[in-house]
Amino acid sequence: MRNLSSPTRDQPMLPELGTPRKLLKLKGMFNSKFGSVPKFYVRAPGRVNIIGEHIDYCGYSVLPMAVEQDMLIAVEPVKTHILQLANTNPLYPYWVKKKMKITLSLPRRDFSTSANNIQIDKTKPLWHNYFLCGFKGIQEHFGLSDLTGMNCLVDGNIPPSSGLSSSSALVCCAGLVTLTVLGMNLSKVELAEICAKSEHYTGTEGGGMDQSISFLAEEGTAKLIEFSPLRATDVKLPSGAVFVIANSCVEMNKAATSHFNIRVMECRLAAKLLAKHKCLPWEEVLRLEEVQAKLGVSLEEMLLITEDTLHSEPYSPEEICRCLGISLQELKTQILSPNTQDVLTFKLYQRAKHVYSEAARVLQFKKICEEAPDNTVQLLGELMNQSHVSCRDMYECSCPELDQLVDICRKFGAQGSRLTGAGWGGCTVSIVPADKLSSFLANVHEAYYQRSNRSLVPEKQSLFATKPGGGALVFLEA
């Protein structure tokens, strides 16, 4: 088995690493399932966002790193036009929204469809829909209408709905699978942009952070991910600290509820009202970053403008229409997404305040890492703590369990701790002095998991130290 780079124009060949044990296991499971041997495997990592939450879709830079947990797909191209998808985990969950109740369901692990008639149901975030997103994204990018089929077996150890980007890793995996089967080439940046756009087929109006770090990650370094144009810059993390991920064991799939899309729309509406107030062409504005760029002012100045322009009381749709001089019908059909058209109130001031302050924290974090003062870990921890407070109070994307876990992590030695990912559940990330790591892990495990009987996921995935990992890869069978 040869371990090769992804079929991109900008990635060098990797050295021979031998046959990883998990690929041999996946090969055996593939053979049992399909009665044949996969021709290649694709890996895409999950990620932890160190700082910069809910600001990528507003146009601002974020600071994630890839983790060792990943999605793997074993692939065999076939002569038919049928996609045969299977999952090694028969209990892989998905969340179904039924009226106002979110229900955990356990679907069949297998799915098949025509490669030339991809249909993605936005109402059901089934695992195979994320594969279809990546497949369809590549198909549409090249304008192809007669694609070959394939047998695919999906495996992975990223806890689902944990804020570590299991869904986007699967989209990226599928995009790279499709590109490899077609024998075509794209840059890593092009792949990331295609996969970010195609994940919108699930109905989630996300940004491009998850897909970007999945392709652009490099071992040993975090990345500052910037947008328009997409680019990644190395950020060397302090050697005297370790980043620890802790799973709250509260699952939240952002595609299963409207929470995430409401935040996206609140930011969009805030951007339009700020632009209108400043006599900018607000109809063209979609992101808060665009307002800053058009005004040519600093983030600190944008915070002051937000204070002067927006009020802290929630806005009704009718008030927004009056501010913009549009009808309610125009608001619903031209600005709001389908699953936010019935929202009764929008908190524009709070969301804009979070975005502009969080964007500033990302730049401060990077600057501290570059300058590396003696109290680097303390300063970075303070920024992470500020980020969590803003996520909790201004963006309202935390939950009681995350807040409790953050408090426990700080109590037992973390210099900083915050929710990571979309929130409303999932994981925290903490910066811990390296010499305190052992006691930190033991104390947090006892305080949060053992006392509360929350060991619902494998221990390694509940609480673990992590370091920057590499990006997506293709492994070819010899």
| Radius of gyration over every alpha carbon of the chain, rounded to an integer in angstroms | 22
**Active-site residue, selected from the candidate residues 110, 146, 210, 393:** 210
Beta strands 63-78 and 40-51 are: antiparallel
- Alpha carbon distance 87, 130 (integer Å): 13
- Alpha carbon distance 225, 110 (integer Å): 35
Beta strands 149-156 and 82-87 are: parallel
In which residue are the tokens 């021979």 written?
Answer: 16
- Alpha carbon distance 145, 363 (integer Å): 44
* C-alpha closest to that of 216 among 233, 199, 195: 233
The CB density around residue 471, as the number of other CB atoms within 10 Å, is 27
Beta strands 82-87 and 222-226 are: unpaired
The kind and range of the H/E element at 374 are: none
8 A C-beta contact, residue 136 and residue 198: yes
Q: Is 403 a catalytic residue?
A: no
DSSP letter at 14 equals P
Positions annotated as catalytic residues are 210
